[in-house]
Amino acid sequence: MGMVDKLKPLDILNKSLKSPVIVKIRGGREFRGVLDGYDLHMNLVLSDAEELDKDTSVKNLMGEILLRGDNVVYVSPTEQKETKKRKGKGESKGSGEGKGKEPGEKETW
């Protein structure tokens, strides 16, 4: 019964819209970019996309890309390294997420 208030995968994507994310696809390639859109198949549209090397340095600037959902291994919300983004970092913690997980409790979908 407690599942009703749990975030679903597409809720996570929706919260990440217009924000920087890192996406790993099958075969091990990783991309960083701004999540501009997604659909029910988890097809993802990234803008300002860059492919990352194994050491997370930029390997390839790609602009706008579409990642097909069945290739996606994970989507990780991330932060841009610009200082103007850092200032807003603490905002999300205090805004209504008080009923979060207990220490040691595993996050489940």
Domain-located, residue 23: yes
Print the domain residue range for 21. Answer: 2-78
Burial class (CB in 10 A: 0-12, 13-18, 19+), 25: middle
Domain-located, residue 16: yes
- Whether this model's pTM surpasses 0.85: no
Domain-located, residue 54: yes
pLDDT band at 3 (very low <50, low <70, confident <90, very high): low
- Domain tally for the chain? 1
pLDDT tens sequence across 40-88? 999 999 999 999 998 889 998 999 999 999 999 999 998 755 434 434 4
Domain-located, residue 71: yes
Residue 28's CATH number: 2.30.30.100
Domain-located, residue 95: no
Domain-located, residue 97: no
Domain-located, residue 37: yes
Which amino acid, residue 83? T
